[in-house]
Every structure is written in structure tokens, then in C-alpha cells.
Structure 1
């Protein structure tokens, strides 16, 4: 018989971008902040090529199991995201910021929309329920760089800059398109490859 656990519905919005880029996802209380990082990477379409951290109610949680980037952190005040379960930090009134790529500075605001206790059901599945717009390309230069990118591609599509950007991101990039099936397929691959099906 499965134990009861908390299931959370989170609304996650990329800050400093208009119109908004956001995802609504479900996660489960026994999961760790590190797993939430991987879920967010898959849900948004990031490539997990950079460091990350979470700021939750004034505390910082980060990836402390690698040497790269540790000099950017106050290690005396930073907690390990692998050792922190979501049910210990997620509450409806929590203030949560997820930062990805310290150079580009992608900040995501996480809001707990719903918490429910699940009985007699196996845990381990996260899903993307909804969302809007495509994830910006990696290394585009943060919100300001993405604005420049979009301006070149949309407003001056025959310019040298627009041609360069299209070659860089490929012909299929559509800033207004969010593919929920692809996001959930990425989550399924992660579940199979990274943390296993439970």
C-alpha cells in the first residue's frame, strides 16, 4: 500500500520577459529541490548547461556537489539542494525564486497554486499541465539579450543579425509556440534516465 504524500501545483514564470513565458507543473513532496531543478529544465526547454540556485524565504539552496561556481556562493549560508525535500520548503505563502545561468541571469518566480494530500497512489510522476511561449535560447544574454534577439528576428528579418540568429537557433524556433507534448516527453525521459520510475 502506498503512503500518502503532498502533490503541489506550481505556476512558474520567467521574470523580466513580456509577454510572459510560464509553465504550470505538478511536483510531489518527497522530491528534492535538485529534482525540481531538473523538472524545470525539462518543462521550460532549458539544456541544463549552467549553474542554478533557489532562493526560498530568504534561504539559498544550490548545487554544492561540483566545484564550478562555488566561488560565487556564500557557502556558510547556502544549503544543498539534493538534501532538501519539497515538502519541507513549499507552502502557499512561500516566496520562491529559481535562478538558472548566473551569467545570463534567468529568474523564475515559483508560486504554489495548490497543495493536496494524495492517498493510496504511487508517487514519482511530475507533469506539465499548461504553459505559454517558447523558452529563450541558451546563452542569448538574459532577458535583455533575448529582447535584442526577438527584435532582430521579428522587426528586421533580413538583417545580418537576424540571419545570424536564425542560423544559431535553427529554422524551427518560434518564440510564441509552447509544445506541451515535448515538455512532458522530456520529463518522461528524465524519469526514465535520471531518477528512474518509482
Structure 2
């Protein structure tokens, strides 16, 4: 297809004139070509390495200020659906929403893996439960993206800080900062308002989310404070995850 026609397809905005243009281009270029242009990108999956290694990664909740992050040591043969469970525990989420892993630094062209839920819904793609961590990252500086709760829009990035000669027997948290935002708090904007309210001493005259001070405190997780994080508690939870 000529470059000019491809550019016009990619610029479709949905108006009646654009619809006529799309129909014309479909007739001229063929439905298969048109479908290929709009197909979701497929994530690159490398062959399984001959040797299992470990990865030290830093996981950041993107755009959070101050930064909310965890430093983890992970075995390379961890399947992505298993990594999902590890990230839920390490960050402090409760796995009450949908998620997805993606590769590619350009957000507009990122390729995503499909989850078991996606497959049940009839979606097609590369299943996360069939892909290992070391098939999507292999070197220092590699990144893997993890989205959780598409409503609140929590986006995470896993950055490989070091490739280890030997894998750890189980995932381990080395360090971290800040508490995980409470579930269903309204995304970063809601979290920041909530964190300011807690840091300010639970002022009953300025409660967030339209709730009263007592309701708000009952809604918050026990002992939640935005600046609190415990490596010990996180590793205890990871141990329980693995042993369970």
C-alpha cells in the first residue's frame, strides 16, 4: 500500500467523510491489509535460555511523587502470571482488578500479553501464563511494564538493575519506599489527596472522597500511612505466597 494511503488510514477520526475514506481504502487495499494495519502488536518472546539466571529489578509506580518503589530479586524462570502475584504482594495490592504486562517503551505502540481472563473472554494473543520473565528481559536496563486496575490506572515499570549469575530460590524484596495506595482510591489524584489528609492528621474539616472523617478512617486499611513501608512484612507476605 502506498505510504500516503497508510498515513490517511492511521489518521482516521471517525467522521462520516473518514468512514467513506476507510471503506474506499478497504476496497482498494484489501480487507486483510486493512486488518493488519489495525491489529494489536504482538509482544516479542525470546527462546527459553539454556541457563536460568536471576534478576535484580526495581519496580516503580509510575508518576507517583514522592516515588513509590520496591527492589526485588527474582528468578528468571518465573512465569508472568506468577510474577503478577509477586508484584501484587510486593507492592501491597489486593488483586481485585484486571492487569496486563506489556513490552515496548513507546506507550502508543506497546505490545501486551493476554491473561487467563482475556482468553476466557475470547481474546487472542500471547498468554502470560506461558511466558517466563527471562523471555522478555535479559540484560541490565531492560524494562517490563505492568498495568493494574484500568479504572484507577496504576502503571508500573520493572527496570532490570542487574543480571545475577544464579537465581534466588524464591522472590525476595531488598528495599522499598512508601506504602501502596489503597485500592479504589481514584488513581494518583485521589491517592495524593488521601495521603495529604493522613499526613495532616485526619482533619475532619477536609476529608477526601466525600466521606466523613470516621467513615474515611474505617475505609482505610489498618495502620495505613503513605510514608510507611516494611521490608520484613513484605518478605513475610512473599514467603506466605510461595508456601501457599
Give the TM-score, by structure 1 length.
Answer: 0.83
Query: Aligned equivalents of 1:15 and 1:70: distance in 2?
Result: 28
Please provide the CA RMSD for this pair: 2.3
- Deviating beyond 6 angstroms after TM superposition, the runs of 4 or more aligned structure 1 residues are none
The answer to whether the 8 A contact 2:198-2:225 is kept is no
1:48 match: 95
2:176 match: 131
Structure 1 residues not aligned, in runs of 5+: 194-198
The answer to whether the 8 A contact 2:143-2:160 is kept is no
Deviation per CA, 1:52-90: give whole Å up to 9, x if none.
111113321131x2269958xxx34x4211000111111
> Within 5 A, what are the aligned runs for 1:104-183?
104-118=152-166, 124-155=169-200, 157-159=203-205, 161=207, 163=213, 164-170=215-221, 172-183=223-234
Deviation per CA, 1:17-71: give whole Å up to 9, x if none.
11000000011111111111111111111111111111113321131x2269958
1:89–1:170: structure 2 CA closer, same or farther, 3 Å change rule? closer
1:62 match: 114
The answer to whether the 8 A contact 2:97-2:148 is kept is yes
User: Would you tell me which structure has more strand in proportion to its own residues?
Assistant: 1
Query: Aligned equivalents of 1:25 and 1:107: distance in 2?
Result: 17
Give the TM-score, by structure 2 length.
Answer: 0.68
Structure with max Cα Rg: 2
2:18 match: none
Structure 2 residues not aligned, in runs of 5+: 1-49, 105-109
Greater relative contact order (Cα < 8 A, sep 6+): 1
1:25 match: 72
- Please state how far the C-alpha of 1:170 moved relative to its aligned partner: 4.4
1:196 match: none
> Within 5 A, what are the aligned runs for 1:72-87?
75-76=123-124, 78-87=125-134
User: Would you tell me which structure has more helix in proportion to its own residues?
Assistant: 2
The answer to whether the 8 A contact 2:68-2:179 is kept is yes
Query: Aligned equivalents of 1:44 and 1:151: distance in 2?
Result: 20
- Please state how far the C-alpha of 1:117 moved relative to its aligned partner: 2.1
- Please state how far the C-alpha of 1:124 moved relative to its aligned partner: 3.7
